[in-house]
A and B are shown apart, each in its own frame.
Chain A
Amino acid sequence: MSSVNSRLQTRFAQLKQEDRAALVTFVTAGDPDYATSLAILKGLPDAGADVIELGMPFTDPMADGPAIQLANIRALAAKQNLPKTLQMVREFRETNSSTPLVLMGYYNPIFAYGVERFVSDAKEAGVDGLIVVDLPPEHNDELCDPAQSAGIDFIRLTTPTTDDQRLPVVLNGSSGFVYYVSVAGVTGAGSATLEHVEEAVARLKRHTDLPVCVGFGIRTPEQAAAIARLTEGVVVGSALIDQIAGAKSPEDAVEGVLGLCRQLSAGVRGARG
């Protein structure tokens, strides 16, 4: 149950009219520090990001590969925490009211913050959706149900191991969009073949009307364009974060991320032309 005119629904409806896929970008909040991360966040919509995923740092990101692990370590070293991440969202919303923003992370920092307080503060800050890696549908009562009652979408990860028997369980209660993790593995790992993605998206479409966004291992404008021909959204994370890891200065980090974002966006926008 998502709210009637959520930013996510509006954005995907608009992109459908334009006949193009969404570029969904992931960065970790507070990486490499609050100010730089906020500058990146504020610059992403103009650089072509259609949907923003913002990572909530955690000490033990079990499902993430080396790039995002390091991003978490940098952000935590710069004293990022959940209250500051919500503050970043508030500051982002001061200048942007249309780009959907999804918080992504692990459950324990939310549990420690308090679920009720988190849901209410996130809604107030302008958060549109949540992706929580270690909350499968078996634990919907923890956060999924309260979030959706408050009008925050709960986005599910589906994977190559989610079979037809399990898909309805996973999709039941999903809202916003469905995130297809195209390889069994951690973030930043090798990419799936286009045949695999095409087949997987077709399978998901038999079970849901929600937009399907595909991620894991997509690094270049060419790869993004190829996926954009097959589905409604392309998620890029580790490649953007590598731009921060390799930057010599905060300015370099901002320009590196936004520069790659512009290229990816061009790839996605030109894909079906």
Chain B
Amino acid sequence: MTSYRSGPDDRGLFGRFGGQFVAETLMPLINQLAAEYEKAKSDPAFLEELAYFQRDYIGRASPLYFAERLTEQFGGAKIYLKREDLNHTGAHKINNCIGQILLAKRMGKQRIIAETGAGMHGVATATVAARFGMQCVVYMGTTDIERQQANVFRMKLLGAEVIPVTAGTGTLKDAMNEALRDWVTNVHNTFYLIGTAAGPHPYPAMVRDFQSVIGNEVREQIMQKEGRLPDSLVACIGGGSNAIGLFHPFLDDESVQIVGVEAAGHGIDTGKHAASMAGGAPGVLHGNRTFLLQDADGQITDAHSISAGLDYPGVGPEHAWLHEIKRVEYVPCTDDEALAAFHQCCRLEGIIPALESAHALAEAFKRAAKLPRDHLMVVNLSGRGDKDMQTVMHHYDEQEEHI
């Protein structure tokens, strides 16, 4: 059997997706980064330090929690939640940040830049930059700054400089453009800490590897609890780092059905969504070839999602490939479906999920009801919802006005 886990090739390609589509200024640096990462990956000292910070700083392993009340509610599949929301800083983002900052330290970089959408990656980056005594600059769209003020304040508390980006729609895509501009300007001393499994090679593979701790833990935990592998995995997809982290260790287990959930916003047919696989086409942006939201002229169109973390017009290249070869099934989920699931999770389990993770929950609930009771389903609860209070409150204010 050919493995689904051997990618990317030495040009950074997963099938026809991925690659290194960047300006020449950056090429020497990303080649150097790829080489350094290759070395670090097999360096016991690096791996030991990474394991130390995962355990004592992030608080890993995160629990695999049996959601008994949700399971009862839907009367079908046995639902487990992988509790990435319990990590330090409240989401899976820190798994990747710890890995990359250790690499930055190894490469002698003193200045860290990052892009952020919901602010979770920005907070996680500011956190590790504080811990390792590095200067930190975070680019964030003005639209996102408005809807995620608590996270903006958290970043500032942690000593990061948050630079508002007004270009475009002021969301994640625009923040990433601006971070890339900073990087070409300050390439000599700056490490770009990309927050998702996208961008030029080696980022998609590197971020996936740092996030794969999620899936590797799930494998062990479910074996302990159930004595066998899960039957299905469900995770939400923006760039797709939490999903690839859960999925990757299971890709070669053909009995495991794998489902990625894209943000369908107001619905795919309204054009106001962030589902680049359901409603986009292959193209090249931000260093990789992948599925993108774009018009017929190849101009990138704006994404929409209630969840700032999914509000991006692209997706990681490994997901694009897994979609094309049909190893993973990708499905859309609307704002309203995600909100309904958000509430069910709050009321039945006493867990406030991130709106991103609520997309995965919505799809899981839909499926669970139709599945037998011995079906084991693992849903990645990628982050906690404290950051989303403002958004959820606004949503209700708007609804009341309509009534």
Residues of A within 8 A of B (CB): 58-65, 69, 76, 81-82, 106-113, 133-136, 138-139, 156-163, 166, 170, 181, 184-186, 189
Contact, CB under 8 Å: A170 / B284: no
Instruction: Assess whether B185 is interfacial by the CB under 8 Å rule.
Output: yes
Chain A residues, Cβ within 8 Å of B28: 161-163, 166
CA distance A76 to B300 in the complex (A): 11
Chain B residues, Cβ within 8 Å of A186: 181, 184-185
Smallest CB separation, A60 vs chain B (Å) = 5
- Inter-chain contact count A-B, CB under 8 Å? 113
Q: Assuming A60-B285, A186-B184, is B297 touching A112 (CB within 8 A)?
A: yes
Contact, CB under 8 Å: B299 / A157: no
Chain A residues, Cβ within 8 Å of B299: 58-59, 76, 81, 109
CA distance A60 to B297 in the complex (A): 13
Instruction: Assess whether B4 is interfacial by the CB under 8 Å rule.
Output: no
Contact, CB under 8 Å: A138 / B11: yes
Contact, CB under 8 Å: B22 / A161: no
Instruction: Assess whether B389 is interfacial by the CB under 8 Å rule.
Output: no
Chain A residues, Cβ within 8 Å of B167: 69
- CB closest residue in chain A, given B292: A108
Q: What are 25 A-B residue pairs whose CB atoms fall within 8 Å in the complex?
A: A60-B173, A60-B285, A60-B286, A60-B300, A62-B181, A63-B180, A81-B297, A108-B292, A108-B294, A110-B298, A112-B283, A134-B22, A136-B21, A136-B24, A138-B20, A138-B27, A139-B19, A157-B25, A162-B24, A162-B28, A163-B28, A184-B185, A185-B25, A185-B185, A186-B184
CA distance A64 to B184 in the complex (A): 10
Instruction: Assess whether B188 is interfacial by the CB under 8 Å rule.
Output: yes
Smallest CB separation, B199 vs chain A (Å) = 11
CA distance A48 to B318 in the complex (A): 49
Instruction: Assess whether B143 is interfacial by the CB under 8 Å rule.
Output: no
Q: Assuming A109-B298, A113-B298, is B185 touching A161 (CB within 8 A)?
A: no
Which residues B5-52 have CB closer than 8 A to chain A?
11, 19-29
Contact, CB under 8 Å: A134 / B21: yes
Smallest CB separation, B299 vs chain A (Å) = 5
Q: Assuming A60-B300, A139-B19, A185-B185, is B284 touching A108 (CB within 8 A)?
A: yes
Chain B residues, Cβ within 8 Å of A166: 27-28
Contact, CB under 8 Å: B24 / A170: yes
Q: Assuming A63-B181, A111-B283, A138-B11, is B24 touching A181 (CB within 8 A)?
A: yes
Contact, CB under 8 Å: A82 / B185: no
Smallest CB separation, B233 vs chain A (Å) = 32
Smallest CB separation, A116 vs chain B (Å) = 15
Smallest CB separation, A87 vs chain B (Å) = 14
Contact, CB under 8 Å: B181 / A184: no
CA distance A158 to B173 in the complex (A): 26
- CB closest residue in chain B, given A135: B21
Contact, CB under 8 Å: A158 / B24: yes
Contact, CB under 8 Å: B294 / A181: no
Contact, CB under 8 Å: B296 / A112: yes
Contact, CB under 8 Å: B11 / A157: no
Chain B residues, Cβ within 8 Å of A59: 168, 299-300
Contact, CB under 8 Å: B25 / A108: no
Chain A residues, Cβ within 8 Å of B300: 59-60, 108
- CB closest residue in chain A, given B295: A112
Contact, CB under 8 Å: A139 / B184: no
Q: Assuming A111-B298, A113-B298, A161-B28, is B19 touching A184 (CB within 8 A)?
A: no
Contact, CB under 8 Å: A108 / B283: yes
Smallest CB separation, A253 vs chain B (Å) = 22
* Residue in A60, A107, A162, A185 whose CB lies within 8 Å of B184: A185
Contact, CB under 8 Å: A62 / B23: yes
Contact, CB under 8 Å: A112 / B185: no
Smallest CB separation, B170 vs chain A (Å) = 14
Q: Assuming A184-B188, A186-B184, is B294 touching A133 (CB within 8 A)?
A: no
